[in-house]
Amino acid sequence: MAQDHIDYFLTANHCVSNQGEASTTEYYWFYQTSTCNGTPPNPASVSRTGQGADYLQGRNRTQDNDFAFLKLRQATPGGVTYSGWTASHPGSGAAVKGIHHPDGSYKRISHGALTSETANYWTMRWSSGVTEPGSSGSPLFNSSRQVIGQLWGGSADCSNPTGTDDYGRFNVTFPLISKWL
């Protein structure tokens, strides 16, 4: 039986906070190196999805956990891997990975662990790599490669590799978007 995929996109609300902004978004795919620290591709050479998105649901930091849930208006290119998610609690100290594009640069992967939590956010510290400005909205994955959050921000960066980052908790987001999933 063929499985249909709907091109949903999770990010931070401070990145896309309303339909007007969602309508102008463009998505770049496979903007990554073929080897660790390899030569990045020219952004003009990678696949893109244009025509914006529909803003389905979102909350800002004062309302909730800073998320925006979108539906792309144009199909993603072939070869895209769809991420799974879980609304399960990962547990303190759980290993996590962040996949992001700092300052619009090519894909980076950071490794770390959850250190604490609030009602709306996971706080984590990186053991390898960091995030940088421009990484906002990027997903946080558990050890089963499921999305458990989206980056709000934090103090970790190349000049402060021991800083922490806060990710909106997907288990808080999920009840607000479950009707689409």
Cα–Cα dist 26/72, whole Å: 9
Burial of 120 (0-12, 13-18, 19+ CB in 10 A): buried
Radius of gyration, alpha carbons of the chain? 16
The verdict on whether 66 is a catalytic residue reads yes
The verdict on whether 7 is a catalytic residue reads no
- Please identify which of the residues 66, 100, 110, 135 carries the catalytic annotation: 66
Burial 134-154 (b: 16+ CB within 10 A, else e): ebbbbbbbbeeebbbbbbbbb
**Reduced to 3 states, what is the DSSP secondary structure of residue 44?**
helix
- Please identify which of the residues 100, 110, 135, 136 carries the catalytic annotation: 136
How many CA atoms lie within 13 Å of 107's alpha carbon, on the beta-carbon side?
Answer: 16
The verdict on whether 83 is a catalytic residue reads no
Cα–Cα dist 128/125, whole Å: 9
Judge whether 71 and 19 are in contact, CB under 8 Å. Answer: no
Q: Catalytic residue positions? A: 14, 66, 136
